[in-house]
Amino acid sequence: MRFIYIISAIILFTSACTEDRYFEENIDFTDRSWNMQDSVLFQFEIDSIELPYRVKLNLRNTMDYPYRNIYVQYYLKDSSEILNENLQNIKLFEAKTGKPFGDRQSEIYSHQLLIQDSVYFPKKGKYTIQLEQYMREKELEGIVSAGIKIEQL
């Protein structure tokens, strides 16, 4: 009987830890600096239009980042048109204290922001997500990487 409880617990634990990640990619910036002219592009393929998807933005920064927030322009495109665009304001540091938000790993802080929830893609095929830093600084110091995570719901 004890054996059955242990096996049941293991099955329950492993099924609770499954990840719904459909696509994830992160791009590291040279010298931890995001140049204003450098768009970050992610290409992926959708093979199921019956299910909804969730799109998240991944961003990593250091304490060298000079502002408390960052504006990131987001574009979702199919082969012929822009399906969605949005300007995201991501708060990286608390306004009053300057304490960093995000999950800390050594000197790097990781953030994940929901961009679109319950997205139904209109057709199967290839899509592109484009990210641009919109802080109007030629070189935005302290940004380590930017990425996209797409989950199938």
CA-CA distances (angstroms) from residue 7 to 3, 16, 17, 29, 147?
6, 14, 16, 45, 37
Q: What is the dihedral of CA 45, 51, 52, 58, to 10 degrees?
A: -40
* Residue numbers of the domain that contains 105: 21-152
Type of residue at 16:
A
For residue 28, how many other CB atoms are within 10 A of its CB?
A: 11
* Domain assignment present for 56: yes
Digit-coded pLDDT (tens) for 103-143: 999 999 999 999 999 999 999 999 999 999 999 889 999 99
* Domain assignment present for 66: yes
In angstroms, the CA 16 to CA 146 distance is: 28
Digit-coded pLDDT (tens) for 19-39: 578 999 999 999 999 999 999
- Residues 6 or more apart whose Cβ sits within 8 Å of residue 64: 32, 141, 142
Contact 100, 106 (CB under 8 A): no
Q: Residue 66 — φ and ψ, nearest 5°?
A: -85, -5
- Percentage of the chain modeled with pLDDT above 90: 82
The H or E element that residue 4 is part of is helix 2-16
Record the pTM: 0.83
**In the numeric block, which tokens belong to residue 98?**
């300057």
Radius of gyration for the chain, computed over Cα atoms and rounded to the nearest angstrom = 19
* Domain assignment present for 117: yes
* Domain assignment present for 77: yes
Domain tally, the chain? 1
* Domain assignment present for 3: no
The CATH number assigned to the domain holding 148 equals 2.60.120.380
* Domain assignment present for 121: yes
* Domain assignment present for 61: yes
* Domain assignment present for 9: no
